[in-house]
Structure 1
Amino acid sequence: MTDRRPLGVAVSGGSDSLGLLYGLASVCAPGKLFALTVDHGLRSGSADEARRVKAHCRRLGVCHETLRWENAQPGSGLQAAARAARYRLLGLAAGRLGLAAVLTGHTSDDQQETLEMRRARSPSERAAGLAGIPLATLFDGRMWALRPLLGVGRAEIRDFLRGAGVEWIEDPSNSDARFERVRIRGLLKEAHRAANTEDGARIAALRFRLAQRAASYIEGRCSFETADTVRMKCGWDEDPEVVAAVMEALVDLCGGAERPLDRRGKATLRACMRTWASLSSDDRNGRAITLGRTMMQMRGGDVLIRRERRGLNTLDLEPGASAVWDGRYRIENLSRTSFLRVAGGGPHGVSPSFSRHLNARKHGWVAQSGVEGGFLCQRLIGRSSCILPVYELTLAQALAHLAGGNRFPECPWDVSGSNMASTTVKAG
């Protein structure tokens, strides 16, 4: 037991999350479990559903809180926005309550549906997305979401609840054919196909091992040349898959793009690698490409990677506000009276520079003078700072060390690359 803090469990009132709640309540010590219900406010009966969950928790002697999504709902992408809001609210609650992690009721049925949707979009049998729903995911660099029911079917959970005399809530959106997942669920049911997640577990294990090898490469061959330029010592005789994984991770770190490289971007990167590897060191020198908002240039046998100098916006932060600039830095304005302006600066014009107008004069600072300028500037570790599947954790830790940032919190679940499906909770 490496983490003695309480656990949280996300409970909507559906069969999956209620099954998880009742199962956890039977094994967790008193005071070691908190139930959290997110009320998205999308249906008229959502508040009543949260009260029904609270009644279950009272019966079990489990503390319960309802977290409300009070922002205006978007006109499109509603499910994605609701999911992002759900994890944000859960993360805030986990920090406030001092939870080791929050457990969710995703099942093997959810896993199969996810894999079916992703297979339909992917021409590659080893694409990262085909690892499916991870056993654990770190959100916003602070909250681990654990999914202990990914090997359990929904029918088995419902049999358990019936045996315990527990009634669950049926979400009407689960039968709304406007949603892709509902359509996939119907197709699987019609074909009488059982949930098969072996391929996903195999790909997750492969991603785990690839992340470990890429992390070792970064630790031994990468360094920051300037504040925003990484030097990568290339071993052209190394496994191309590992080198490509390292380059993709550095593009993510230095570029700050909202999305990872798509198929065309990945193909361009690999073609460039093959071309550079085939050239002599003299012919290689000075070669460059732009990819994923980065400039990648050969210099002295190494590759220099930095943010390309275009598409850099100016950010004006109100007093006391915080925001992300260029997808690469999280900025907090500590002043309660003056605006803070963030723009590109430094040798290549891609590092954050800061300025204020005080006493009719403009004052300027760089990231390192945050205390003097009254702001906080934190480098983000690519998308890992937002959402990090557990099998990419070792790679994210190597990137954080490279960038001089804080380590990500370790997963409170015993997860290994050789047996991604066999895990034991170490918290609570």
Structure 2
Amino acid sequence: MPEGADRAPPLPPDLERSLTRFLHALDDDRPLGVAVSGGSDSLGLLTALASLLPPRRLVALTVDHGLRPASAEEARRVKAQCRSLGLRHETLRWDGPRPTSGLQAAARAARYRLLGTAAGRLGLAAVLTAHTRDDQCETLAMRRARSPSDAAAGLAGIPPATLFDGRLWVLRPLLDISRATIRAHLSARRIAWIDDPSNADPRFERVRVRAALEAGPADPADLAAAAGIAAARGALARAAAAYIRSAAEVEHGGQVRIGLPREAGPAVITAGLEALIDLCGGAARPLDRRGKATLRAAVHGWIGEGTGAADTLTLGRALLRRRGGALVIARENRGLGILRLDPGGSGVWDGRFLVRNLDRHAGLIVGVGREPGNPPLFGRDCGGVLQTSSEDWQQGLRRWREDEAVAGGFVCRRLAGRASRILPVHEWPLAQALAELVGCATFPPPPVTFSDRATASGCVTLR
């Protein structure tokens, strides 16, 4: 127990139980990062963990987005509080130009990018965030308003763990704990927190939903239903992963051929095909409700449980063609843009390939050829002109595997769909199967052991 922890008021019993269970389930003894804004939730998480772990096991990380005049001073206040606890603290600043639109999304992406870089540099097992049961209720209320169907994926709620950019596990150990419990813990220890003024701004949907929930608390059955949906989606992801491993192969140009064994069942086949559409299409968003319904109907027809299934189907920027008892899935031949990289720059082309320009002097242009599956082609940018006849013009057909990734002054690596950017823990088995299929880097397992049993407020529970 940290020095002085025995003199502090005890933790609320449910908070102590939840965090103790979480710490016992950890499979990694490296230090843990804690994202701390100075608000009640994150400060409560940090101080509670400081009561249970030695200081060397914790690193507090504050992201200063620079979007409010008070943000720098708030970061300094957090640093002072960490100093009083004997904890290491780092402020991560978002520098550089800001977009003229989509600022909140850009700030969120920058936050996880900064946290991921810090976690790698500091050798952290994961970064913990202080999402609470209140956050879970608010999220479910917002998603239900947009997608009232009980089967909607979003109604699984906030997952207890998410992998960002294939490298940073973000863990959420407080999804069972109320904000009131956390604030009672802070008040008992006379620890002041910072109130972000945006949390009271009714222009934001979450603020309005929070006010409505305070007027009439969420039904516990909603949390239980969310946990059930998440557990069911986890089981389906594992079954779909097994289906892909047994029935899919990559053909020339990156297109995928997969069998349609009736014994796999329509739900598993549909889940597997939806993942392959994401992989081959590279779309920024998953299929909408209409797209999902179209795919389900087609699968029933293809395996003989329905009628009128077309032999060719386009969904999520992917082209599906029936060939006997199998499907061939490839990127459709439209909307294929050009990516221009500065010397030393990097970017994602078509949502499917991560490209880094290793040349420090010449730009790189990534375009598309006419091969099946639409893999990328590469050319050097000489004064803005694509030199298609030069020796630098190369096909990327054999540049996808890690051991063959460097060629001609650039690196091109296949991505495993949206999972390469953001991966909820219950979808991890399916993402692994996609990565193995196309030979890209696999995803690190979560550093905490989960069971398959659903809880009343989380997607899965700790063992």
Normalised-by-shorter TM-score class = over 0.9
Q: Does 1:64 align with 2:99?
A: no
Q: 1:158 to 1:268 in 2, by over 3 A?
A: same
Report if aligned partners of 2:253, 2:372 keep a CA contact under 8 Å in 1.
no
Partner in structure 2 of residue 120 of structure 1: 145
Q: Deviations over 1:329-351 (max 9, x none)?
A: 00001111112221112522711
Segments of structure 1 that go 5 or more residues without pairing to the other structure are none
| Pairs within 5 Å for 1:63-82 | 63-82=88-107
1:318 Cα offset (Å): 1.5
Q: Does 1:133 align with 2:162?
A: no
2:329 to 305, 329, 333: 305
Q: Does 1:38 align with 2:63?
A: yes
Partner in structure 2 of residue 145 of structure 1: 170
Q: 1:146 to 1:274 in 2, by over 3 A?
A: same
SS at match of 1:227: helix
Calculate percent identity across the aligned residue pairs: 56
SS at match of 1:41: coil
Q: Does 1:392 align with 2:427?
A: yes
For 1:237 and 1:123, how far apart are their aligned partners in 2? Answer: 31
| Pairs within 5 Å for 1:141-220 | 141-193=166-218, 197-220=223-246
SS at match of 2:287: coil
1:357 Cα offset (Å): 6.2
- Number of residues of Structure 1 aligned to a counterpart in Structure 2: 422
Report if aligned partners of 2:243, 2:264 keep a CA contact under 8 Å in 1.
no
- In the superposition, the TM-score normalised over structure 2's length comes to 0.87
1:4 Cα offset (Å): 2.2
Q: Does 1:376 align with 2:450?
A: no
Report if aligned partners of 1:91, 1:143 keep a CA contact under 8 Å in 2.
yes
Partner in structure 2 of residue 293 of structure 1: 317
For 1:77 and 1:128, how far apart are their aligned partners in 2? Answer: 24
Q: Deviations over 1:278-298 (max 9, x none)?
A: 399xx98x9211111111001
Partner in structure 1 of residue 21 of structure 2: none
Segments of structure 2 that go 5 or more residues without pairing to the other structure are 1-25, 400-404
Report if aligned partners of 1:108, 1:150 keep a CA contact under 8 Å in 2.
yes
1:271 to 287, 297, 300: 297
Q: Does 1:227 align with 2:253?
A: yes
Partner in structure 2 of residue 326 of structure 1: 350
Q: Deviations over 1:390-425 (max 9, x none)?
A: 00000000111111112101100111222454326x
For 1:217 and 1:178, how far apart are their aligned partners in 2? Answer: 45
1:269 Cα offset (Å): 1.0
For 1:238 and 1:371, how far apart are their aligned partners in 2? Answer: 39
Report if aligned partners of 1:346, 1:353 keep a CA contact under 8 Å in 2.
no
Partner in structure 1 of residue 379 of structure 2: 355
Partner in structure 1 of residue 444 of structure 2: 409
Report if aligned partners of 1:346, 1:352 keep a CA contact under 8 Å in 2.
no
Report if aligned partners of 2:318, 2:332 keep a CA contact under 8 Å in 1.
yes
Q: Given residue 224 of structure 1, which amino acid in structure 2 is its aligned partner?
A: V
Report if aligned partners of 1:6, 1:31 keep a CA contact under 8 Å in 2.
yes
For 2:217 and 2:345, how far apart are their aligned partners in 1? Answer: 53
Q: 1:177 to 1:75 in 2, by over 3 A?
A: farther
Q: Does 1:98 align with 2:137?
A: no
1:194 Cα offset (Å): 6.0
For 2:161 and 2:142, how far apart are their aligned partners in 1? Answer: 20
Q: Given residue 423 of structure 1, which amino acid in structure 2 is its aligned partner?
A: L
Superposed CA RMSD: 2.2
1:366 Cα offset (Å): 1.8
Q: 1:177 to 1:343 in 2, by over 3 A?
A: same
SS at match of 1:144: strand
Partner in structure 1 of residue 109 of structure 2: 84
1:176 Cα offset (Å): 0.2
Q: 1:193 to 1:343 in 2, by over 3 A?
A: closer
Comparing 58-67 with 118-127, greater Cα deviation is found at: 118-127
SS at match of 1:290: strand
SS at match of 2:262: coil
For 1:194 and 1:206, how far apart are their aligned partners in 2? Answer: 21
Partner in structure 2 of residue 246 of structure 1: 272
Partner in structure 1 of residue 10 of structure 2: none
For 1:372 and 1:170, how far apart are their aligned partners in 2? Answer: 51
2:40 to 6, 15, 25: 15
Q: 1:127 to 1:226 in 2, by over 3 A?
A: same
Q: Does 1:423 align with 2:423?
A: no
1:358 Cα offset (Å): 7.7
Q: Deviations over 1:214-235 (max 9, x none)?
A: 0110111111122311011101
Report if aligned partners of 1:12, 1:53 keep a CA contact under 8 Å in 2.
yes
SS at match of 1:197: helix
Q: Given residue 30 of structure 1, which amino acid in structure 2 is its aligned partner?
A: P
Report if aligned partners of 2:254, 2:373 keep a CA contact under 8 Å in 1.
no
1:89 Cα offset (Å): 1.1
Partner in structure 1 of residue 367 of structure 2: 343
2:395 to 366, 373, 378: 366
SS at match of 1:145: strand
For 1:331 and 1:46, how far apart are their aligned partners in 2? Answer: 34
For 1:164 and 1:76, how far apart are their aligned partners in 2? Answer: 42
SS at match of 2:413: strand
SS at match of 1:105: coil
- In the superposition, the TM-score normalised over structure 1's length comes to 0.94
Partner in structure 1 of residue 79 of structure 2: 54
For 1:353 and 1:365, how far apart are their aligned partners in 2? Answer: 6
For 1:276 and 1:423, how far apart are their aligned partners in 2? Answer: 39
Comparing 327-336 with 194-203, greater Cα deviation is found at: 194-203
Q: Deviations over 1:119-176 (max 9, x none)?
A: 1111320211111110000000000000000000000000011111111111111110
For 1:220 and 1:411, how far apart are their aligned partners in 2? Answer: 24
Comparing 358-367 with 373-382, greater Cα deviation is found at: 358-367
